[in-house]
Amino acid sequence: MSSGDLSKAWNRHAETYARLGAPFTGYMAQSLFAAVAGRLPKGARILEVACGNGELSRAAVLHCLEEGRSEGVRGSVVATDFSSEMVELARRNLSVLGAGDVVRCEVQDGQALGFEAASFDAVFSAFGIFLFPDRQAGWGEAARVLRSGGLLATAVWRGPEDNALLRLQMEPVMASLPDRVRASIPRPSWLDITTAEGLVKEVSAAGFVEPEVSVFDAVLTAPTPRAMWSMMRESPLSGPLFATCSREEIAAVESTVLSTFEALSGGADRPVRFNASCHFLVARS
């Protein structure tokens, strides 16, 4: 899929993601910011790549505002995403902070950023660069726009063996997809960086040094089994799995997924909880 088609797919998913996904990934993204905030220089110029509806940037803006009050020096935040709908949601989300010129939101492809070299002290990307078709370009652009010694912080899902969220979502899907479809699914390349070793190897190859990886666990709560299925069905990540399925084939997957989730939740109208696990990586340019 071209970058343009992918950004359109995220545009279509933006509202659902903001409602169901971002309250959870947003908590993890804000925790990623908190894990690094103490190391930021005063008045840091902060970039968020693939910001979604701006949850990490929200934490960054609050940090800058507090810094302005307590230190008299205020940093700045640029929240970017290649989906114009996501950027609009981020703009709305951040506008309530009354942060004025501390923050701006821009449509930017993280694989080809329109910023000068060395324009930022820190680049953050929570569940963003890891899914780019050209991750090397994503890490490379983060390195280019960081000043020497600047900080990269990123969150990347751990693989299904360590991450019940992925396992519980994908097992019923894979078990019920027709053989023809299952056989045609390519191995997602981001599985290469679901381990700490794989992630460190990749960002080191992009020129980052002093990598530190930690595990971060959280519990995702979906309001109902069907709400989680709807998100999976629509998401640009899992939705394409069903592109060549007939209506009957999708109904069969839906039935398997819903009964798996209902067994976890205890009923169709009950919340379903998934233990999720990711890596936080922090490194220097």
Ligand X SMILES: C[S@@+](CC[C@H](N)C(=O)[O-])C[C@H]1O[C@@H](n2cnc3c(N)ncnc32)[C@H](O)[C@@H]1O
Asked if residue 60 binds ligand X (CB under 6 A), the reply is: no
Among the residue ranges 66-74, 124-132, 141-149, 167-175, the one whose residues contact ligand X (CB under 6 A): 124-132
Q: Which two tokens mark 165?
A: 């969220």
Asked if residue 10 binds ligand X (CB under 6 A), the reply is: yes
Interface residue with ligand X, options 20, 102, 126, 228 (CB under 6 A): 126
In this structure, the dihedral spanned by the alpha carbons of residues 48, 54, 60 and 66, taken in order and rounded to 10 degrees, is: 150
> If you write DSSP's letter for every residue of 68-105 in order, what string do you get?
HHHHS---EEEEEES-HHHHHHHHHHHHTT--GGGEEE
Residue among 25 and 176 whose Cβ is closer to ligand X: 25
Asked if residue 75 binds ligand X (CB under 6 A), the reply is: no
**3-class SS at 211?**
strand
Measured in whole angstroms, the distance separating CA 13 from the mean position of its chain's CA atoms is 13
Among the residue ranges 22-30, 33-41, 184-192, 205-213, the one whose residues contact ligand X (CB under 6 A): 22-30
Report in angstroms how near the CB of residue 282 gets to ligand X at its nearest.
16
Let me know: does 143 contact 211? Beta carbons within 8 Å.
Answer: no
Asked if residue 281 binds ligand X (CB under 6 A), the reply is: no
Among the residue ranges 19-27, 37-45, 240-248, 252-260, the one whose residues contact ligand X (CB under 6 A): 19-27
Strand stretches in 187-271, DSSP E: 209-222
Asked if residue 225 binds ligand X (CB under 6 A), the reply is: no
Amino acid identity for residue 188 in this structure: P
Residue numbers at the binding site for ligand X (CB under 6 A): 3, 10, 22, 25-26, 29, 50-52, 55, 81-83, 86, 109-111, 126-128, 131-132
